Homo-oligomer: A and B are copies of this chain.
């Protein structure tokens, strides 16, 4: 480091000497392994000594020795970060912390799934949780080869080599569309967000709408929409007579509802609109928005699963299915 002197680095032996304990005890305390084994008083003494000496154990060296770190890695998908997911991530961080793991959201980018998985693998995480579009079988294989013990995929179909948490994006579209059709709607629009990272999810939700429409004499049209007022207004002004809309999620659905109201198209009279995610803004909108609720409540269970798979890696298996539920309100 230029600009400031490089201070001498304290070793764990120095910490042990100052605290009057063994190096093993220093390691137990600072690495948070074997929590029950060291008294609170000793723990405090070791921490104070480490602090006084400016000692930081080296995760790189530790990961190298152990072949893995205590990291649980998730890709930091821009698309996946919303209020629903960020509250859930907060719960998950806390739950993983209680098992001694640290959740890391990794912003690596690459040409394809294998490139990206390579960047993940370089951190030698103990576990990787990722949505299926990024977890091809080749990517899973690479992670296992690099020593990642638990690979957990979230997606519609089981991924070979990974535990899969079944989350059917299609189901969101299917539930909303079946309801719109039941309400007598025959010309359905499906909003396709123009924002980065959402296209894979949007395509799956559209497939769900088509599934519900099959054999029902219902027309399904994907309609691109950016999350932008001018875009929504332009769409509403040239409205092609759709009588039902699945809005991708509540945000896009609410944007369109507002634009339809602006041009005098009544919701749900002229156009019935349903969203997904069941967020508060939809619940309190006028008309209140019909939506599909996604049950992400099991952060504690997921942390327990991650821990179990790290301790005892097993062959791939379907883990659990995320539950979804239609919530009918005034917009349909």
Q: Is A131 among interface residues, defined by CB-CB distance under 8 A? A: no
Q: Is A329 among interface residues, defined by CB-CB distance under 8 A? A: no
Q: Is A237 among interface residues, defined by CB-CB distance under 8 A? A: no
List residues of chain B with CB within 8 A of the CB of A145.
7, 9, 54, 56
Give the shortest distance, in Å, between A122 (CB) and chain B (any CB): 4
List residues of chain B with CB within 8 A of the CB of A200.
none
Give the shortest distance, in Å, between A107 (CB) and chain B (any CB): 4
Give the shortest distance, in Å, between A2 (CB) and chain B (any CB): 6
A124 adjacent to B93 (CB under 8 Å) = no
Knowing A105-B76, A258-B284 are in contact, say whether A4-B144 is a contact too (CB < 8 A): yes
B228 adjacent to A3 (CB under 8 Å) = no
List residues of chain B with CB within 8 A of the CB of A1.
144, 147, 149, 313
* Binary B-proximity of A140-156 (CB < 8 A = 1, otherwise 0): 01101111010000000
List residues of chain B with CB within 8 A of the CB of A280.
227-229, 255
B78 adjacent to A89 (CB under 8 Å) = yes
A314 adjacent to B3 (CB under 8 Å) = yes
Complex: A24 Cα to B146 Cα, angstroms: 21
List residues of chain B with CB within 8 A of the CB of A295.
none
Complex: A91 Cα to B224 Cα, angstroms: 22
**Best-surrounded residue of A93, A122, A229 (most CB of chain B within 10 A):** A122
Give the shortest distance, in Å, between A4 (CB) and chain B (any CB): 7
Give the shortest distance, in Å, between A307 (CB) and chain B (any CB): 15
* Binary B-proximity of A66-84 (CB < 8 A = 1, otherwise 0): 0001000000101001110
**Best-surrounded residue of A50, A62, A76, A107 (most CB of chain B within 10 A):** A107
A123 adjacent to B59 (CB under 8 Å) = yes
Complex: A141 Cα to B52 Cα, angstroms: 11
Residues of chain A from 1 to 52 with CB closer than 8 A to chain B in the complex: 1-4, 6-7, 9, 30, 47, 50-51
11 residue pairs of the A-B complex, CB under 8 angstroms, read: A2-B312, A47-B115, A51-B114, A54-B146, A60-B64, A60-B69, A60-B123, A104-B106, A104-B107, A229-B283, A281-B281
Interface residues of A (CB under 8 A from B): 1-4, 6-7, 9, 30, 47, 50-51, 54, 56-64, 69, 76, 78, 81-83, 86-87, 89-90, 93-94, 96-97, 102-109, 114-115, 118-119, 121-124, 138, 141-142, 144-147, 149, 196-197, 227-229, 251, 254-255, 258-259, 280-281, 283-284, 312-315
